[in-house]
Chain A
């Protein structure tokens, strides 16, 4: 079975631009979460979506938005890019929205976003 897939793998943008990152969860998984991992740090939670509804949001500005589609894939959008947005963006899926104890989150390989 395919794991969590993310696209693109790498992306270079300039300040002020907009970016869209995509994620396809493991088949059958209905929850998708997004994390930002700055170099040398642990991942930071951005969003969780479950059954196409936002379930949780981390401490990120409104420039960050996301959505989940009927097939449970998801997009993360970032507007007005800043240099500080340079990071690895990770997508994780799980089978339920709050079942982490026995349904751990499975991560994709991430999208490396560089802002010039």
Chain B
């Protein structure tokens, strides 16, 4: 089946530290891959996406590259800020018949201290 596995959290970093959040997936075909972010008390916001192998998604200093050979989509940021504190979800889209749904990982809570 289709699934997403993320590294366990929570993670606490100091401001300006380097961030990597690992994400691997299992899927039939070639899904699109996404990173969503959830700030406290809010819904999910799309952070970045990649639609095919070797695509790099980027936004707000975050980057992730679609690696088909390793079935991975790791999220990276060179210098985190306090405002990046949130829960990060890796997801893939799954098409079944006429529907489309997102399959999410469990999420990883990031706390950035000043």
- Chain A neighbourhood of B36, CB < 8 A: 107
Cα distance, A4 to B46, chains bound together (Å): 13
Interface size on A, residues (CB 8 A): 29
What does the 1/0 interface line of B84-105 toward A look like (CB < 8 Å)?
Answer: 0000010101011111111111
Q: Which of A55, A101, A105 contacts B102 (CB 8 A)?
A: A105
Cα distance, A104 to B4, chains bound together (Å): 18
Q: How many A-B residue pairs have CB under 8 A?
A: 75
Q: Which of A40, A58, A101 contacts B101 (CB 8 A)?
A: A58
Cα distance, A90 to B99, chains bound together (Å): 17
Q: Which of B43, B93, B103 contacts A109 (CB 8 A)?
A: B43
Query: Would you call the interface of chain A mostly helix, strand, loop, or mixed?
Result: loop
- Chain A neighbourhood of B97, CB < 8 A: 55-56
Cα distance, A41 to B89, chains bound together (Å): 10
Contact of B43 with A104 in the complex, beta carbons under 8 Å: no
Contact of B98 with A97 in the complex, beta carbons under 8 Å: yes
Q: Does B77 contact A (CB under 8 A)?
A: no
Cα distance, A41 to B105, chains bound together (Å): 8
Contact of A42 with B34 in the complex, beta carbons under 8 Å: no
- Chain B neighbourhood of A58, CB < 8 A: 101
Contact of B45 with A40 in the complex, beta carbons under 8 Å: no
Contacts known (A107-B43, A109-B42); A98 close to B99, Cβ less than 8 A: yes
CB distance from B101 to the nearest CB of A (A): 4
Cα distance, A41 to B51, chains bound together (Å): 25
Q: Does B29 contact A (CB under 8 A)?
A: no
Contact of A42 with B43 in the complex, beta carbons under 8 Å: no
Cα distance, A42 to B107, chains bound together (Å): 6
Interface residues of chain B, those whose CB is within 8 Å of chain A, are 4, 32, 34, 36, 41-46, 49, 51, 89, 91, 93, 95-107
Q: A42-B107, A106-B46 are in contact. List 17 more A-B contacts (CB 8 A).
A: A33-B101, A41-B106, A42-B104, A42-B105, A43-B44, A43-B102, A55-B98, A55-B99, A56-B96, A92-B44, A99-B100, A100-B32, A100-B95, A107-B43, A107-B45, A109-B43, A110-B43
